[in-house]
């Protein structure tokens, strides 16, 4: 009986540590109190989220440069891409493979399907804000990006809002996103920062 109790205590301690320390940190990684609590474009699409995360990073480059990297690294449909289709390697991928500078992405517009075919451009105001929405069978999710000019630099703010369907699959979808989104988005935010600052 000793081993199961010990394992249970370790599992309970790990869960408590995640909920009390790790989760609050990653749900607002890099963001100020004001950024966490302010309204961002797209918040109204998921009015009562079960999961909300606001993350931010300061980039030493002007908003138009940061915007180009946000769109480039976020995935965008190439000209002539069918809605819902996964685009193949575009001019950016071919240029980078050849060691050449990537070309600016084509203009996004509401209704465009992002790379992977799940998120759709809901609203867009270059180079200030981009709202993506995924109205899936298990959950409705929005990803909002806001760029704020800091006078020579840019404050890049990212917000995730999600509400799952009242099903086991919906609850599982929210739980998996709670853990997995931070790893992916932290990498994306830092990649945008590195790319935009090196381009400058």
How high is the pLDDT of residue 189? 94
DSSP string, 45-109: GSSS-SEEEEEEEEESS-HHHHHHHHHHHH--PPTTPPTTPPP---HHHHHHHTT-PPPPPPPP-
CA distance 57 to 30: 6
**Residue scoring higher pLDDT (16 or 134):** 134
- Give the whole-number percent of the chain exceeding pLDDT 90: 56
Q: What are the tens digits of pLDDT across the range 37-62? A: 999 999 999 999 999 999 999 999 99
Q: How many CB atoms lie within 10 A of CB 76?
A: 21
SS3 164: strand
CA distance 138 to 140: 7
Axis crossing angle, helix 63-74 with helix 168-199, rounded to the nearest 10: 130
pLDDT at 82 over 80: no
Task: Give the count of beta carbons closer than 10 Å to the beta carbon of residue 103.
Answer: 13
Better-predicted residue by pLDDT, 98 or 3: 3
The confidence score (pLDDT) of residue 8 equals 54
Query: What is the longest distance spanned by two Cα atoms in the chain?
Result: 64
Omega before residue 177 within 30° of 0, cis: no
């Amino acid at each position: 009986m000793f081993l199961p109790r010990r394992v249970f205590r370790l599992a309970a301690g790990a869960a408590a540590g995640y909920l009390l320390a790790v989760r609050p940190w990653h749900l607002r990684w890099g963001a100020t109190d004001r950024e966490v609590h302010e309204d961002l474009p797209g918040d109204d699409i998921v009015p009562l989220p079960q999961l909300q995360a606001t993350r931010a990073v300061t980039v030493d480059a002007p908003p138009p440069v940061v915007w180009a990297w946000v769109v480039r690294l976020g995935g965008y449909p190439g000209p002539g891409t069918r809605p819902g289709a996964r685009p193949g390697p575009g001019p950016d991928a071919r240029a980078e493979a050849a060691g050449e500078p990537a070309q600016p992405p084509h203009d996004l517009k509401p209704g465009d399907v992002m790379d992977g075919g799940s998120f759709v451009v809901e609203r867009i105001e270059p180079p200030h804000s981009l709202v993506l929405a995924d109205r899936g069978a298990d959950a409705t999710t929005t990803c909002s990006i806001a760029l704020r000019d800091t006078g020579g630099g840019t404050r890049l703010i990212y917000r995730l809002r999600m509400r799952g369907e009242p099903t086991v699959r919906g609850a599982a979808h929210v739980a998996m996103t709670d853990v997995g989104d931070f790893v992916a988005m932290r990498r994306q935010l830092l990649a945008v920062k590195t790319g935009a600052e090196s381009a400058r």
